[in-house]
Structure 1
Amino acid sequence: MDIQGSEFSTKGSYVTGKEYTRDTHYIETRITRDGADGYPVEAGRYRLVVARACPWAHRSTIVRRLLGLEDAISIGVCGPTHDARSWTFDLDPGGADPVLGIERLQEAYFKRTPGYPRGVTVPAIVDVPSGAVVTNNFPQITLDFSTEWKQFHRHGAPDLYPEELREEMTAVNKRIFTEVNNGVYRCGFAGSQEAYDDAYDRLFAALDWLTERLAGQRYLMGEFITEADVRLFTTLVRFDAVYHGHFKCNRSKLTEMPVLWAYARDLFQTTGFGDTVDFEQIKKHYYVVHEDLNPTQIVPKGPDTSGWVSAHGREALGGRPFGHGTAPTRPVDA
């Protein structure tokens, strides 16, 4: 989730005339087993910086937890709100990250590139010894957790990125990102009625497509959870709390889309998903930070979230959430 300069929207990309366009120019350095980019996989060297409010960062917390990478990659958590400069560590004692010793994530970006000109985003992986950001390329971060960090996976870790499904998953992920993950933002930050109408129609066409796909199978790629489910979940879990009203994605609430609502509850009740959700931080971020959309900064009390733990019935479709693996057992640390 981006923070940009004054010419950008508060949601980190920009409105060119009428249509909202996300800035996808990230720091593409990778942490790999061979260290080709100068950053080899090494337990204890890197810190994953996230915000529980942010859907893009939320992906990385789920994948890290499912794979059991807690001992290999530490985590730092920013607060739900920020100013035009940076995410801050206001949840930590003294307002500074206890490992990095910084108050603003911006400081780690400046360590990498003095005067870093683009968005200060989460998730970001920071090289602890140097204090510099290694990467903020959120789609690649989780894929590398699955592939490059295998030696540090917990016993029983699921395969979230199976080789035999990657080609199909790439196509599914692309549509989910374009029409759903980013589609809600295209609705919320549309600069014209025409741009909003187009974004709205595309979003709900994609949700209808997902409904059809999930009507007869438990997960997006079939019988077990994959990276694709993680990517969709972080948008669905925020849908009624913020996107339906705040971003005007109001053809239907998630609770009014039976297949997707049951699917989302199934994931929420799976270890690693619901236990990483903080609805209050999610609402506080969107309604406080987006002053252009919500000038009063009033945070709504609803919706009622008790339904997330109600029976979903998706077990009838078969499948095993973790495939041949097992659920995480250690307590969540973020």
Structure 2
Amino acid sequence: MKKIIYNQFGDAGVLEMADVAVPAVSETTLLIKVKAVSINPLDWKIRNGEMKLMSGSKFPRGTGIDFSGIVEATGSSIKQYKKGDEVFGLLDVFKGVVLAEYIIAGEKDIALKPRGISFEQAAAAPVVGSAALQLFDTLLNVQKGTELLINGASGGIGMFAIQIAKMKGAIVTAVVSDNGLQAAKDWGSDFVINYRKEDVLKSGKLYDAIIDLSNQMTYSAAKKIMKPSSVYVNTAPGPKEIISSFFISLFSRKKYKVLMLKPSPVYLKELATYMKQGLAIVVSKAYRFDTFKTAYTEVPKAHIIGKL
């Protein structure tokens, strides 16, 4: 089978297509024929060597975290799924291997793909959808009337966060660029700010919670528009931010929290339920398997609406 691998850290140029054996199913795993793979910043952060402490440095390595596909074979202990089932899911976030024709997964790694949802849409959901669910499950108490600001809201996490926050009754303000205005409105934002024309930090409005998805609004800046008891969430923290968030939250009512994605089978099933209820999933572009270098060259530079 074909699989995308790399043998050294670097830019998209280190990626190559290799011929490898189809992985074997064990008693407790499934063989999945991959139909679509989502592209995430973590893919190139790992490939560039930024995450060595967590990902390790052993080569060759694969890439890709979340996927959709069709069950091809099952181990003898598998009870929930059968050959032919259409599924979606994600594997270990630091051992990307899903950009391949076939992968091995466990029952906890997948959920059934709802009918009416394309393979591309399903593959777009696991990482960013789980991140959005984790935000509201573990970091933020969002309920009816909560004033929520989402900075950089037109990408994957923002797409899910806006819609889920609205389902919980929050009053959502989305900060986006020109090309994200319509998407943020379509997803249900109550207020949409074009950061090229308006500085949200000078608006005078205060928020109960702020989610920064752009890695551009620091906690120090966000404090100006946070209510006395409020929460700021950094979704792309480095070691420095992780440490400082702990000490700031100890002594300030304006809490500083960080998102560290922890995948859960519960989140996948919850996402499937939201999909059945009509949650919008925008895939603004899809690349062919053999154009992987083009994809990983273009995407880091793109202002993405939804997912690619």
Q: Same fold (TM over 0.5)?
A: no
Q: Which has the higher contact order (CA 8 A, sep 6+)?
A: 1
Between Structure 1 and Structure 2, the one with more strand by share is 2
Give the TM-score normalised by the residue count of structure 1: 0.29
Greater helix share, structure number: 1
- The TM-score, its normalising length taken from structure 2, stands at 0.31
